[in-house]
């Protein structure tokens, strides 16, 4: 397959996803058609928001731009389950993996990278 055919195929399989309001912690604010998220948390507790699309195979890429108003660290990652307490961090569980903004990878642990 030629390089241009591979690129064309990749374009066909791009998944555009947004954050799902039904799976968003109550203190997280969504904006820009559910593509932006902001958390104002005075207690320094992590919260979770889940995307409206799932991935079951393939290679996926996304970019996160931290809002200038961000006061605390953030975690970005994937989880295999949607049914958990969204007032917690998904990577504290065995079904979640995250990159923590201080440079740690987290899985099944709320304190150690």
pLDDT confidence of residue 16: 75
Q: What is the mean pLDDT of the chain?
A: 81
Lowest mean pLDDT among 7-11, 56-60, 92-96: 7-11
pLDDT category at 9 given cuts 50, 70, 90 is low
The partner residues of 78 in beta bridges, in order of sequence, read 97
| Residue 19 exposed, middle or buried by CB count within 10 Å (0-12, 13-18, 19+) | buried
Distance separating alpha carbons of residues 71 and 53, to the nearest angstrom: 28
Residue pointed to by tokens 């947004």: 18
The reported pLDDT for the residue numbered 55 is: 80
17-55 per-position pLDDT tens digit: 899 999 988 888 899 999 888 887 777 777 888 888 888
């Amino acid at each position: 397959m030629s390089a241009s055919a591979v690129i064309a195929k990749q374009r066909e399989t791009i998944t555009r996803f947004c954050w799902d309001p039904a799976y968003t912690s109550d203190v997280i604010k969504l904006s820009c058609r559910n593509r932006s998220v902001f958390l104002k948390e005075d207690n320094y507790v992590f919260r979770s928001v889940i995307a409206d699309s799932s991935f079951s195979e393939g290679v996926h890429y996304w970019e996160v731009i931290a809002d200038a108003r961000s006061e605390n660290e953030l975690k970005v990652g994937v989880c295999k389950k949607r049914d958990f307490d969204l007032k917690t961090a998904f990577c504290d569980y065995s079904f979640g993996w995250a990159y923590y903004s201080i440079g740690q990878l987290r899985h099944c642990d709320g304190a150690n990278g």
